[in-house]
Amino acid sequence: MDIWQHLLGGFGIALTPMNLFYAFIGVLIGTMVGVLPGIGPMSGVALLIPVTYNLNTASAIILMAGVYYGAMYGGSTTSILLNTPGESSSVVTALDGYEMAKRGRAGSALSIAAIGSFVAGTFSVLMLNLLGPSLAKVAIRFGPPEYFSLMLFGLTAVAGFAGKSRNKAFLSLFIGMLISMIGTDLVSGSERFTFGISNLSDGIDFIIVSIGVFALGEVFTTIVEMNKGKQTRFRIEGKIWPSREELRRSVGPIARGSVLGFFIGVLPGAGATIASFIAYDLEKRISKFRHLFGKGAIEGVAAPESANNGAAGGAMVPLLTLGVPGSGTTAILLGALMIHGITPGPLLFEKNPDVAWGLIASMYIGNLMLLVLNLPLVGLFAKIIDIPQVYLLPMIIIISTLGIYGVSGNIFGLWLLLFFGIIGYFMKRYDYPGAPMILGLVLAPLMEQSLRQALIMSNGAYTIFVVRPISLVLLLLAAAAIVVPLLLRKKNGKFDQVEKDMEL
């Protein structure tokens, strides 16, 4: 039987009324979980596991996968409307998404996010379907040296997130990297920068920093401005849906974001966050509208949202074809399979074809359901920012604290949240960009860990990074990402001047 026949069989399973129902419940809960900041896809799926105990395996996994990509989908909503990224992978979406919302284009941003997610989600299932096993064999060759080089390349994306001062972006990046050093060091097993505080020994969760810096920082800023009698209530301008022009501008970013996201997602451990940062940076580098980035560019929503959903699909590749988790969330899914008596591994497709193909088929259906579910909600969600600030701000504060406390159950995180909220207020006020801090926070631990793993592997020889071809290519890419723009700027000083004029 070829894959199309299997897929047909899969649809036979996924299209039963019961499984359609579970896919729907899954994406619905996923959207809810995604909208609530703090509960990301990972904890969302983990929380749902007990609910699925009594379902049959195919239904259970369809439900949980629905929660996974539903949460990836929903993550953009609060980023765009409230500047409150629910997961690290939707931090980037907040940059231009929230700016669009402020300019009355929330509906457009939300729709583009939904469309981009749908396209990327569908593209990645299709790729998983067609190329899964062969891709996974390549992806698994990625070892610590390759990850180090990839992370280095990822760091060059910081250029895309600088405001007026490049140095402020760098400072923000390095401080983020420093924050990530707090906690137990994986390679030596000892604690660093914890000063004997047990609460710090797991490190500081990026979600605390991102909700603090973005959401609370924004709330504080708004409060100060309200105090000055400034009315900051936003109004929806024009029609809710994206204009033809906006749609047209989104085509390229969505296509590139989907491809980029998928391939980065396939690499075990690289993940949606890095994909979203790189996709945004890429668009900013090549877009005609680069001067609009950070001021509500539709490309800045389309690219990262497609990338993080593409990555979510990509992460399913190693899980389904090799039985190794490609991300934190797929690791949870793997655990869930075991609870249902399935041994994840390379034989999954042979031994449990109903589960594997049922899941793949349900991913096609689920993505469609999400689009159908989310587009009508756009109008409703977009009205959220019509709620007067006097009610909205306290609600944002409560959702933020709940997001931090809910899953960890630890009050210490709330103090940190407040701390980073105050930091975020100053950063916003004095034009220190927040996104580089999150980038550093997410990348630095992976980067350090893979650097040191690679050095153990090579007995301390740094040549390991250049003798391995993939690693070398990534290092060269990173170098190019730094050098090429510098050269271009020298050659093309005129363009730079134009850019500067437009910024002012």
Partner 1 sequence: MEKNSVFDRYVSGFTFLLGLLVIIYSMVLPKPIFAGQMGPGIFPTGIGVLIVIVSAVLFRESGKEGRTGTIAQPTSDQQVTTEKLFNRHLLIVIVALIIYILLFQILGFVISSMAMILALGWLLGARKWIPLTLISVLFPTALFLLFGMLGVELPAGIIHF
Partner 2 sequence: MKKKSGLIALIGLMLILLVTACGQQPTKQTQANEGADYPNKPVKIVAPSGTGGGWDTTARLMSKVMGETKLIKVGLPVENIEGGSGKVFLEGFLKNNVGDPYTIFVNSPPILINTAQGFKYSYKDVTPIAGIISEYDSFVVPANSKYKTLKEVMDALKQNPASVKIGGGSAPGGMDHLAFMAAAKKAGIEITKINYVPFQGGGQVMTALLGNNIDLASTGISEVQGQMQAGTVRMLAVTSAQRIEGLDVPTVKEAGYDATFDIWRGFFGAKDMPAYAKKYWEDNLAKMVKTPEWQQVVKNQKWTSSYRNSEEFTKFLGEQTQVISNLMKELGLTK
Burial class (CB in 10 A: 0-12, 13-18, 19+), 492: exposed
Q: Which does 213 bind (CB under 5 to 8 A by kind): partner 2, partner 1, none?
A: none
Q: Indicate which single residue of 422, 470, 472, 477 sits in contact with partner 1 (rule: CB under 8 A).
A: 422
The alpha carbon torsion through 217, 223, 224, 227 (nearest 10 deg) reads 180
Q: Which is nearer to partner 2, 93 or 449 (CB)?
A: 449
Q: Which residues, including other chains, have CB under 8 Å from residue 84's CB and lie 6 or more apart?
A: 37, 78, 94, 211, 214, 215, 218, 396, 399, 400
Instruction: Look at residue 178 and give the partner it binds from partner 2, partner 1, none, a contact being a CB closer than 5 to 8 Å depending on partner kind.
Output: partner 1
Instruction: Quote the CA–CA distance of 41 and 293 in Å, as a whole number.
Output: 27
d(CA 130, CA 114): 24
Task: Give, as ranges, the residues between 323 and 352 that touch partner 2 (CB under 8 A).
Answer: 323-325, 331-332, 334-335, 338-341, 343-348, 351
Q: What string marks each residue from 136 to 175 as x (binds partner 2 by CB under 8 A) or -?
A: ----xxxxx-------------------------------
Interface with partner 1, residue 425, by CB under 8 A: yes
Q: Out of 95, 204, 312, 393, which residue is the one contacting partner 1 (CB under 8 A)?
A: 393
Check binding of 455 to partner 1 (CB under 8 A). yes
CB neighbour list of residue 436: distance below 8 Å, 6 or more residues apart? 158, 161, 162, 169, 170, 172, 173, 176
C-alpha angle with apex 143: 138 to 146, nearest 5 degrees? 90
The stretch near partner 1 (CB under 8 A) out of 39-47, 259-267, 308-316, 360-368 is 39-47
Q: Does 229 bind partner 2 (CB under 8 A)?
A: no
- Closer CB to partner 1, residue 54 or residue 227? 227
Q: Establish if 231 lies at the interface with partner 1 (CB under 8 A).
A: no
Counting Cβ atoms within 10 Å, is residue 43 exposed (0-12), middle (13-18) or buried (19+)?
buried
Question: Which stretch in 140-148, 265-273, 362-370, 450-458 sits in contact with partner 1 by CB under 8 A?
Answer: 450-458
Q: Is 47 in the site for partner 2 (CB under 8 A)?
A: yes
Which element (helix H / strand E) includes 183?
Answer: strand 183-184
What is the footprint of partner 1 within residues 147-186 (CB under 8 A)? 164-165, 167-168, 170-171, 174-175, 177-178, 181, 185
- If one asks whether residue 444 binds partner 1 (CB under 8 A), the answer comes out as yes
Rg (CA), the chain: 22
Which of partner 1, partner 2, none has residue 410 at its interface (CB below 5 to 8 Å by kind)?
A: partner 2
402 binds partner 2 (CB under 8 A): no
Verify binding: residue 412, partner 2, rule CB under 8 A. Answer: yes
- Tell me which of partner 1, partner 2, none is bound by residue 268, counting a contact when its beta carbon lies within the kind-specific cut-off of 5 to 8 angstroms: partner 2
Token pair in block for residue 426: 């100053």
Dist CA 172 CA 182 (whole Å):
16
Cα 114 to Cα 77: distance, rounded to the nearest angstrom: 9
At residue 100, the 3 state secondary structure works out as: helix
Binding residues for partner 2, rule: CB under 8 A, are 42-43, 45-47, 49-50, 53, 140-144, 184-189, 198-199, 201-202, 268-269, 318, 322-325, 331-332, 334-335, 338-341, 343-348, 351, 407-410, 412, 449, 453, 456-457, 459
